[in-house]
Amino acid sequence: MKQPFCILEESTAKLNVQRSQFYSHIFEIDTVTQAKEKIKRLSKSYSDATHICWALRVLEKELVELCSDGGEPKGTAGFPILNVLKEHDLINVCCVVIRYFGGVKLGVRGLINAYSEAAQLAVKNVKIVPLMKLFEHTFFCKYDQLSEVLKIIRQADGKIERIVQGETVTVQALLSEKIERFDPQIVEKLVKML
């Protein structure tokens, strides 16, 4: 996979093609389920729309790419939207394009172009940032080991997320590499690099 990117905020755009109105929405997601819930909410908001088409790319256990033509001819809406997301190397993103039919049939090429352009407009309106694969570490140590744990994290250019003090100390940090000292729990995750 190339360097992945994500968006910082939700964005919308509007496009008019031969009297048909296209409203595009792009937003960040963490799961397919989360995307489908948002698509369902948008469907209710645009309940009088002719077509609601969408595409998503999300990293769950592996990269998942899904799209829907929303009643348009096969391959004329969802796939063009998905191609825009792929072209920008966007993941953890969903783009929904809502169409109000304006009375003029656009044809296959016209639909592909319109849905692509609507998705491009939504992408153009957002700030895109790189995603970095980091390892979320949870270190467990004694109080007299805390300074050494913090030193290891700083040397690895890590970011300390949280320190919890109890009978022992729990330190949560994000690091670009796995560090096995002090009996940590380690989870891979993608983090937006601002």
Of 101, 93, 166, 180, nearest in space to 135 by CA: 180
Position with higher pLDDT, 154 vs 86: 86
Position with higher pLDDT, 154 vs 193: 154
Residue range 135-148: mean pLDDT, rounded: 85
Predicted pLDDT at 191: 54
**98 in Cβ contact with 51 (< 8 Å):** yes
Max CA pair span of the chain: 74
Residues 8-45 have pLDDT tens digits of 889 999 999 999 999 999 999 989 999 999 999 999 99
Greatest mean pLDDT range, 76-90, 127-141, 155-169: 76-90
* Domains of the chain (ranges, CATH numbers): 5-126 (3.30.230.30), 132-192 (3.30.70.240)
Residue range 48-62: mean pLDDT, rounded: 92
Instruction: Name the pTM for this structure.
Output: 0.74
Binned at pLDDT 50, 70 and 90, residue 137 comes out as: confident
